[in-house]
Structure 1
């Protein structure tokens, strides 16, 4: 099977998404640390589909999402660097390999940065609920997650189907 290793420079779009996703994620970690002493011992640890708190836990649990986020940031970043290892249709050839690689890498980049932004929002909301400044994520959160993950996947599949 044809799978050359090609060095494709990051697009402006990917660079901007990296700054936004990584920046918001880092800001959320700084926010957690800055609010740490003001937090009660029990904080919201889980939200249901309606965005309401359905489990409370130790404030140390605030570091679970940032920990997972750091892992995803590294893991998906490595996957982005190896588009030759991604899955492609049999029609992959030397004429379309760059288009397929770029499309696949952009999808990985979008998903990585959406997850980072999502984890940043959830982490900050956990702090705000614990401090009594808000009640929960809200009804809009689950549809946002579904749309936010569905659009890049659909966009990537449509773009891949148009590659000749």
Structure 2
């Protein structure tokens, strides 16, 4: 027995310049951070921080080679969240998707994924700075707080979008 999801309305809105730009910048900078980590690798200490507490301080250390794995995972996460942002109809939402609210919900789902990708970039940069110079704690904390803020704000906006309906005059969805 197979279970299939109901068909959802197609995405028809146009993504704004800011969201598209942030998506591209997040991907490019994430790759650049990883390239910088590879370039810094020979001068890194043998033990590097691999986990950080809520204050951004390292609370676990690992072998130097783990920076390569962690950077790879961070790039993969940036790629996957950016890709998912281009397919908002595939995302899981807490509300029922209807013809009337689909575009509003999809737009908020897309924004959530793009802002998550940008926030992952901050975390990646904070970790990379901690690995090389030890000065990435503040950025790591900002990244962790940013994850929480992005998720909470996005969930509220998605719930709110579920209650919207298009303008009756056929105006463009903003």
- TM-score normalised over the length of structure 1: 0.75
Instruction: Work out which of the residue numbers 86, 90, 102 in structure 1 matches 2:96.
Output: 90
Residue ranges of structure 2 left out of the alignment (5+ in a row): 1-5, 166-174
8 Å Cα contact 2:96/2:162 also seen in 1: no
> Where does residue 42 of structure 1 map in the other structure?
47
CA deviation after TM superposition for structure 1 residue 87, in Å: 3.6
Q: Distance in 1 between matches of 2:121 and 2:138?
A: 19
User: For the residues of structure 1 that align with 2:145 and 2:78, how far apart are their CA atoms?
Assistant: 23
Is the counterpart of residue 78 in structure 1 residue 83 in structure 2? yes
Give the CA RMSD over aligned residues.
2.8
Residues 71-130 of structure 1, C-alpha deviation per residue, up to 9 Å, x if partnerless?
A: 22332233223222234533622x43322222222212221222233222222222212x
Pick which of 111-120 and 142-151 moved more: 142-151
**Aligned position for 1:32:** 37
Task: Judge conservation of contact 1:31–1:124 (CA < 8 Å) in 2.
Answer: no
Question: Could you say which structure has the greater relative contact order, defined with CA pairs below 8 angstroms and 6 or more residues apart?
Answer: 1
- 1:12 to partner: Cα distance: 0.8
Verify the 8 A CA contact 1:24 1:120 in the aligned structure 2.
no
Change (3 A) 1:7 1:43: same
Segments of structure 1 that go 5 or more residues without pairing to the other structure are none
Within 5 Å, give how 1:95-114 maps onto structure 2: 95-114=100-119
Relative distance call for 1:145 and 1:10 in structure 2 (3 A) is closer
1:4 maps to 2:5? no
Corresponding residue of 1:151: 153
Which structure has greater helix proportion? 1
